């Protein structure tokens, strides 16, 4: 019982715990970006701790070499609204790292150049790489936009983007862990058994051994929380769809009843607010 209570209080994830170690974060960024920053490179982690960005607080924002990178691990279906979310998140980040008084200075205030990276490890099929653009959401299309934001999405499931995995043993190990949990779940293990067995299997193969030796209980707890959260969100979405369908069916039944009783179509539309930009 106490364990469940602890789970609800976690606002972190295995991903952020693993890559909050700056040397692992630099290793990961080098692998994804194709850069070769040395270990001595300074990294400042500036993740917003009070923003519920995706389903949970599982993002990492950091500054290196005058770049502000927002790095997201995404386990569910990739959301096409990611660029808009990133835009809102980035506005908060710039507010955090600049002084309000800077906005009134005559001299140009320099800010870190943004980069947006999403690492996808969900179960649905997804290409190795895809770019999502804010302009895809714009209602008015044009050749050149005055505002644009591009999110780079990489599939990090086991066996995908081998070059990135090869350059980042930590990311490769993390992908292996996720794959083990999914494999165990598919064999009929309950969630907790699947996670424990996955951690044990990884340790036996010397995968992220140092990490598990230091954080095994936290890792188990966070994984259990993450999977439970995904289930809860899926159930919530299914219930919302079912409720919407139920309401639509009831509305249609009322419409048919009124029409059968002799009420005109125009009056039915008026009663149900269907006169403007709507149809039965």
pLDDT of res. 128: 96
pLDDT of res. 55: 44
Instruction: Please list the helix, strand and coil fractions of the chain in percent, rounded to the nearest 5, in that order.
Output: 55, 10, 35
In a domain, 277, yes or no: no
In a domain, 204, yes or no: yes
pLDDT of res. 273: 67
In a domain, 115, yes or no: yes
pLDDT of res. 49: 67
Sheet holding 150-155, edge to edge: 44-45, 59-64, 67-74, 113-120, 150-155, 129-133
Low-confidence ranges of the chain (pLDDT < 50): 1-11, 52-58, 228-229, 232-233, 235-236, 277-280
Domain count, the chain: 1
In a domain, 87, yes or no: yes
In a domain, 47, yes or no: yes
Is this structure's pTM higher than 0.95?
Answer: no
In a domain, 279, yes or no: no
Environment class of 120 (CB within 10 Å of its CB; exposed 0-12, middle 13-18, buried 19+): buried
pLDDT of res. 181: 92
Q: d(Cα 31, Cα 40) in Å, to the nearest integer?
A: 16
Q: Pick the closest to residue 113 from 149, 74, 146, 141 (CA basis).
A: 149
In a domain, 68, yes or no: yes
Range(s) of the domain holding residue 92: 2-271
In a domain, 276, yes or no: no
């Amino acid at each position: 019982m106490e364990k469940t209570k602890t789970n609800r209080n976690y606002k972190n994830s295995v991903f952020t715990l693993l890559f909050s170690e700056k040397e692992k974060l630099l290793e990961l960024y080098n692998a994804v970006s194709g850069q070769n920053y040395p270990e001595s490179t300074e990294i400042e982690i500036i993740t917003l701790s009070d923003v519920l960005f995706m389903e949970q607080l599982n993002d990492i924002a950091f500054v290196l070499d005058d770049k502000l990178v927002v790095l997201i691990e995404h386990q569910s279906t990739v959301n096409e609204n990611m660029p808009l979310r990133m835009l809102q998140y980035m506005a908060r980040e710039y507010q955090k790292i600049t002084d309000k008084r800077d906005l009134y200075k005559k001299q140009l205030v320099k800010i870190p150049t943004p980069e947006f990276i999403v690492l996808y490890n969900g179960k649905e099929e997804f290409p190795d790489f895809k770019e999502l653009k804010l302009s895809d959401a714009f209602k008015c299309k044009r050749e050149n936009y005055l505002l644009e934001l591009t999110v780079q999405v990489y599939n990090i499931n086991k066996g995908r983007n081998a070059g990135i995995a090869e350059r980042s043993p930590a990311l490769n190990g993390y992908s292996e862990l996720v794959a083990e949990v999914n494999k165990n779940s598919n064999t009929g293990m309950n969630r907790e058994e699947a996670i424990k067995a996955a951690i044990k299997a990884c340790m036996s193969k010397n995968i992220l051994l140092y990490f598990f030796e230091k954080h095994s209980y936290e890792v188990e707890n966070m994984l259990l929380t993450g999977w439970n959260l995904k289930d809860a969100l899926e159930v919530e979405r299914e219930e919302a769809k079912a409720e919407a369908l139920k309401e639509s069916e009831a509305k249609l039944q009322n419409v048919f009843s009124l029409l059968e009783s002799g009420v005109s179509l125009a009056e039915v539309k008026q009663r149900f607010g269907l006169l403007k930009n709507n149809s039965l």
